[in-house]
Structure 1
Amino acid sequence: MTRAVTIVDIARALDLSKSTVSSALTGQGRSSEATRRRVVEAAARMGYVTNRAARQLRVQSTGAWGLYIPAQVRMQSFYMQFTFGVVDEAAALGYDVTLFGRTSEPTQKMGPQIDGAIVADPLPDDPVIERLARTGVPLVTGGPMRGSNSRLADGVIEVDNYKMGRQVLDQLVRLGARLPALMAPDAMFDSPWAGDVRDTYLAWCEDHRIEPKLATIAVSPTSQDLDSAVRRLITDSSIDALVCAPQGLAGRSQPILESLGYKIGKEFHLAALVGDPATELMNEKITALDLTPFEFGREAARMMEEILQSGATIRLHKFHEAHLRPAVAAADTSGTTM
């Protein structure tokens, strides 16, 4: 049986946002006449048939949003705080939030039950995201989308990973580091954020004419796996700093390094690109980025409300502000914000 053509298919064919196609087909929003004609002609050519019943249900507000977080990272505190931020702001705006946990069942029928969906740190080609997009409701992502899903978001809010990553590396140089290594997420969580982290590090090394020292690891490794990874990485005695991308790994690496005789904060430096509030942001020996995930979630919710209220036909994009928390040794010579 041939699958019915959806607005997602039309959006991809025309390289337009999903919301632009939807507005053009319904006559709502601010699409130009030329865009409307282009969409309508493509819809007729591709055999698109409007699901009037589903559209009518979506016109009526349900008072609820959906929230989806990839299963690989649901136990990390960043995503928990992001969720609490979404829920807090949604409640202030008069909405409830439904957390989508199933990843293998169809989500099309969820469309009429929600007014919009928010996705934290979307993974490329995630089938759940595509199924959410096919419901026709607005989609906001905390972080960019790449791969075949790159055109599905109606709004994107993200941290400037390139800028903040370089700030961390530059800070380590001010502390005296000459060869920082990077511990990045492995292929099991190859999100756009993870790609940005690697690309930023490699570009920074090239700019400084430094040979990159990079290892990959699960975002939530066992203690044994982390111990092995740290020991393998520092077999190169010229490495004098370690930047950990996954949350919490810098704090967990500190006792491993100290057991090997390294003096953290003096002869060896640690940094966290997603600072854990308990083990890294309050640790005077670790330079860490505070991504303020609670506020991140609130901003994602506000973006969703803006899309729903304005009927915008262009994708919204915003950078969320992160903060650099330097190790105490250099706190007097560096800024604390972007």
Structure 2
Amino acid sequence: MITTRDIAERLQLSVSTVGRALSDDDRISEPTKVRVRQAAAEMGYVGNRAARMMRGASSNVVGLVIPDIRNSFYSTIAHELSKNIEAQGFQLMLSETDDDRMVELRHLRELSTSRVAGVIIVPTARPRSESVKLLRTIPHVQLLRKHSSLGSQWFGVDDFEALRQATAHLVDQGHTRIGYVGGPAELPTGAERLKGFRSALADGGLPDEAAQIELGRPSSIEEGRRAVQRLLEGPSVPTAIVLGSVQLTLGVLGELSRMGVKVPEDLSVVGFGDEPGFSWWGPGLTTMSLPIQEMATGCGLWLMRRLTTNPNDDSAYASVSPGSLILRGSTAPPAHTRSKPRRKA
């Protein structure tokens, strides 16, 4: 393994001069830094990050803590963040919590021990107090979900307005029995989306009985399947369904296809997110599209600016991105008479 001593011997410099040059110390002239870096690259020198951390320096790693990498929201976010922070000389480290707050705590402990430069986190519903304390020692920003205990620096979408707009579209078409399949209200995103759904019903003059609500894990396709089964096999079948997560949308669409439900003749559907296949699913899915790539890019660039200018600046900052309703063929006014959707034999 090539060491700083090997570089020093080659360049006839002291080991301390080589070390300072590699760490960009102001006491070393720029020409000397260039010579040292060039020699290090030619000789295949790899810096000892552990030694730097023992001296109190942070790494160039940024931790991304998310619930589920299988969710296209989070895989898109990870991809965009990786590109943006790599361009600034940082590296992304991915941690997956499965929305388990103990797993979240273990990941944060490891990231803290590794002296990460910063953390971008989609927090669980109830982060443990130890997690809150750890994040107070690390520059961090919340993404999508926001907890007051974790600070006031946040990038997210307008969840309330997204679901209000999606549901209002169905109300405007004359639907009076509308189902909602979304994440649990204990999640900040789930609570806001449920409020938006209820607000649109109230604005349309519909009673509470017009709402048929199924809440489950937002990252579970299977829960979407089971939720739509319960809605369509209940005593009062909805004429329309609005969805509150990408994975739940995928589950509902798969189950509707399996059951042979005609959309929008039997049931109108408004999805959440805009996956590549949504435009050609059935008649084309009317859905709420969210600017995930733009939000991730903004979050990454903002954190990079903080880390490179003032890592200790924890002043409040919030960026809220709006969604947009994409109208396709999966919604229509309800039929005059409605029976339970026919299932394939």
TM class by smaller structure: 0.5 to 0.7
Distance apart, 1:222 and its partner CA: 6.1
Distance apart, 1:226 and its partner CA: 4.3
Q: How many angstroms apart in 1 are the aligned matches of 2:130 and 2:277?
A: 33
Q: Please show how residues 71-220 of structure 1 align to structure 2 within 5 Å.
A: 73-101=68-96, 103=104, 105=106, 107-108=108-109, 110-111=111-112, 113-120=115-122, 122-126=124-128, 129-130=131-132, 132-134=134-136, 136-146=137-147, 150-153=148-151, 155-186=153-184, 190-208=186-204, 209-210=206-207, 211=209, 212-220=211-219
Secondary structure, in 3 states, of the residue corresponding to 1:213?
A: strand
Q: Please show how residues 234-245 of structure 1 align to structure 2 within 5 Å.
A: 234=232, 235-237=234-236, 239-245=238-244
Distance 1:158 1:227, change over 3 A: closer
1:16-53, Cα deviation, whole Å (9 max, x unpaired): xxxxxxxxxxxxxxxxxxxxxxxxxxxxxxxxxxxxx9
* Amino acid in structure 1 at the alignment position of 2:264: G
Contact 1:85/1:293 (8 A) holds in 2: no
Structure 2 spans left out of the alignment, 5+ residues: 1-51, 97-102, 333-345
Q: Please show how residues 316-327 of structure 1 align to structure 2 within 5 Å.
A: 316-327=317-328
Q: How many angstroms apart in 2 are the aligned matches of 1:145 and 1:285?
A: 32
Contact 2:153/2:314 (8 A) holds in 1: no
1:70-105, Cα deviation, whole Å (9 max, x unpaired): 2xx332111111111111111122211112345453
The alignment-based identity, stated in percent, is: 18
Q: How many angstroms apart in 1 are the aligned matches of 2:86 and 2:318?
A: 23
Distance apart, 1:215 and its partner CA: 1.1
Contact 2:105/2:128 (8 A) holds in 1: no
Distance 1:174 1:258, change over 3 A: farther
Q: How many angstroms apart in 2 are the aligned matches of 1:100 and 1:258?
A: 34
Contact 2:81/2:300 (8 A) holds in 1: yes
Distance 1:175 1:248, change over 3 A: farther
Secondary structure, in 3 states, of the residue corresponding to 1:133?
A: helix
Distance 1:257 1:330, change over 3 A: closer
Matching residue of 2:7:
none
TM-score computed with the length of structure 1 as normaliser = 0.68
Distance apart, 1:133 and its partner CA: 0.7
Contact 1:264/1:285 (8 A) holds in 2: no
1:288-332, Cα deviation, whole Å (9 max, x unpaired): 12223333222211121232244344111111243322224789x
Q: Is residue 249 from structure 1 mapped to residue 245 from structure 2 by the alignment?
A: no
1:136-171, Cα deviation, whole Å (9 max, x unpaired): 12110112423xxx1423520110111111111122
Q: How many angstroms apart in 1 are the aligned matches of 2:315 and 2:216?
A: 37
Q: How many angstroms apart in 1 are the aligned matches of 2:280 and 2:55?
A: 51
* Amino acid in structure 2 at the alignment position of 1:164: A
Secondary structure, in 3 states, of the residue corresponding to 2:241?
A: strand
* Amino acid in structure 1 at the alignment position of 2:70: M
Contact 1:184/1:194 (8 A) holds in 2: yes
Q: How many angstroms apart in 1 are the aligned matches of 2:330 and 2:111?
A: 52
Contact 2:64/2:121 (8 A) holds in 1: yes
Q: How many angstroms apart in 2 are the aligned matches of 1:252 and 1:144?
A: 22
* Amino acid in structure 2 at the alignment position of 1:215: E
Contact 1:247/1:274 (8 A) holds in 2: yes
Q: How many angstroms apart in 1 are the aligned matches of 2:116 and 2:305?
A: 16
Q: How many angstroms apart in 2 are the aligned matches of 1:95 and 1:119?
A: 17
Q: How many angstroms apart in 1 are the aligned matches of 2:86 and 2:111?
A: 20
Contact 1:158/1:318 (8 A) holds in 2: yes
* Amino acid in structure 2 at the alignment position of 1:194: G
Matching residue of 2:278:
280
Contact 1:138/1:153 (8 A) holds in 2: no
* Amino acid in structure 1 at the alignment position of 2:270: A
Secondary structure, in 3 states, of the residue corresponding to 1:88?
A: helix
Contact 1:296/1:320 (8 A) holds in 2: yes
1:101-133, Cα deviation, whole Å (9 max, x unpaired): 454537456336211100125433246742541
Number of residues of Structure 1 aligned to a counterpart in Structure 2: 267
Matching residue of 2:315:
314
Q: Is residue 301 from structure 1 mapped to residue 311 from structure 2 by the alignment?
A: no
Contact 2:271/2:288 (8 A) holds in 1: yes
Structure 1 spans left out of the alignment, 5+ residues: 1-52, 332-338
Q: How many angstroms apart in 2 are the aligned matches of 1:175 and 1:117?
A: 44
Distance 1:76 1:108, change over 3 A: closer
Q: How many angstroms apart in 1 are the aligned matches of 2:231 and 2:118?
A: 44
Greater RCO (CA < 8 Å, at least 6 residues apart): 1
Secondary structure, in 3 states, of the residue corresponding to 2:287?
A: strand
Distance apart, 1:253 and its partner CA: 2.3
